[in-house]
Amino acid sequence: MRDHAVIAGVGFTEATSPRRQELSKNELCRLAVDRALEHAGCDRRDIDVVIIGDIAGFEASSVAARTIAPALGLPPYTTVLPICTGGTTGGHLPNQAAALIRAGFAQRVLCVAPNTFDGPVDLQAVINTNSPMVMEQPLGMGAVHMGAFFPAAYQERYGVTDADFELLATKNRENADHNPFAHVTSALSAEHAARMVSTPLRLGMVCPVSSGAIALVVGAESVVGGQAGHPVARITAAQSISDGYLGGKRRDFSTFEVVEVMARRAYREAQVVDPRSEFDVVELFNPYAPMEFMLMEAFGLCPYGGAPELLRKGVTRYGGDLPVNLSGGIQCTNPGVAGQISPVAHIATQLMGQATARQVEGARRGLAHSTGGTFFQFHTATVLERVDL
């Protein structure tokens, strides 16, 4: 039976740093799954398919789904689908769950987004291995260096100041103060936050390496909607896009060009005509704070170069009419695949009226985004809408 796909249950685990994490990857995933199933009012015996993400090249195992799935207590012969697209793996999980449900292949899909970074000693060196071997790996770049290209070009093109970036990062840490699942909050001292990491990125603008897991129950609206006992979040658009492999393919580092292409497709699918006025809440993948400005512009939420002005006017803060990253975003919590799914998870709980962070009253439609790969090659977008059943 084909049906709309809805998120009916969300399970978060508390985030911390990998060296302080006391639970194994399997235990974290089991905890997140238990919470998601309980939230959805669903029994694990009802699950048709479990989709589990990983980034094998960053981890101490290959295809972690093979060892995580048996720890989840699912019935024998439940189909396990391992997905890895790098930095967008987590964003793909609900999107693919929606595809399976819309096709009638499944009625209840469990999405499991594990912690990814609990193994590497030098994560930047590991991330370097996803760069082109001949052209870019020898330059020694890690994620933070790739991440600095974009705000540097953005500053040069639009005259945005370091102070604008710092204001943005501070806004997100203050948002994280209200999110019990966030890792970094405004407890980060100003002295630490100001340390330069890779120009123009300062420590306070750069995501931590976090540990935690998130699970979602995605189901057919007519099947799971009534079970949850609370509003659910319908997935009205699920898109992804790939740019070319080489960083040089980006052409213009002052924008995320391909996001504009993806956004048009997502808005067409979800029948969004004026994104600025039609979204009540937005979560954009921002491992480096300035990306939030650039992504807002690529998603058509404001003119190019206009995002800092919205921040200064309070539009994107809590209480503004377009709150962005009320969870604190990835800048404050980045456990890898779990970080990538977190924008969808936070938007879903906002639309259910059960926000983990501060609730936007009456929120009915939201946008979630994730990105990753070398020089942010991949992006996903998910549009969600509240459904009262």
**Site residues (vs another protein, CB under 8 A):** 2, 49, 54-58, 60-63, 65-67, 69-70, 76-87, 92, 96, 99-100, 102-105, 126-127, 129-130, 132-133, 238-245, 258, 261, 265, 372-374, 377-378
First-last CA distance in the chain: 19
The minimum distance between CB 303 and another protein, in angstroms, equals 23
Q: Which is nearer to another protein, 137 or 359 (CB)?
A: 137
Angle at 18 between CA 126 and CA 62, to 5 degrees: 50
Q: Tell me how far, at minimum, the Cβ of 103 lies from another protein, in Å.
A: 4
* Smallest separation, CB 341 to another protein (Å): 15
CB 237 to another protein: min, Å: 10
Shortest Å, Cβ 233 to another protein: 18
CB 297 within 8 A of CB 303: yes
In 3D space, the residue among 346, 276, 285 whose CA is nearest the CA of residue 307 turns out to be 276
Both tokens of residue 185?
């909050």
* Other residues' Cβ atoms within 10 Å of the Cβ of residue 187: 9
Residue type, 290: P
C-alpha–C-alpha distance, residues 26 and 54, integer Å: 13
Report in angstroms how near the CB of residue 130 gets to another protein at its nearest: 4
Task: Tell me the longest C-alpha to C-alpha distance in the chain.
Answer: 58
Nearer to another protein, 49 or 347 (CB): 49
Distance CA 138, CA 182 (A): 35
CB of 156 to another protein, least distance (A): 26
Nearest Cα neighbor of 4 from 90, 94, 104 is 104
Q: Which is nearer to another protein, 258 or 322 (CB)?
A: 258
Burial of 59 by CB count in 10 Å (0-12 exposed, 13-18 middle, 19+ buried)?
Answer: buried
Decide whether 184 or 266 has the Cβ nearer to another protein: 266
Q: Does residue 327 contact residue 10 with C-beta atoms inside 8 Å?
A: no
- Decide whether 247 or 323 has the Cβ nearer to another protein: 247
Residue number, 61 or 161, with CB nearest to another protein:
61
Nearer to another protein, 103 or 194 (CB): 103
- As measured in angstroms, the least distance from the Cβ of 87 to another protein is 8
Q: Which residues contact 157 (CB under 8 A, 6 or more apart)?
A: 254, 305
Give 3 or 162: the residue with its C-beta nearer to another protein.
3
Closest distance between another protein and the C-beta of residue 317, in Å?
A: 33
Give the Cα separation of 201 and 121 in Å (integer). 22
Q: Considering the complex, state which of residue 59 and residue 166 has its C-beta at the smaller distance from another protein.
A: 59
86 or 343: CB nearest another protein: 86
Q: How far apart are CA 148 and CA 119, in angstroms?
A: 25
CA dist 211 and 289 (Å) reads 20
| Tokens describing residue 21 | 């994490």
Nearest-angstrom CA–CA distance, 379 and 284: 11
Return the bridge partners of 216, or none: 10, 111
Q: 369 with 383: CB under 8 angstroms?
A: no
Least distance CB 379 / another protein (angstroms) = 10
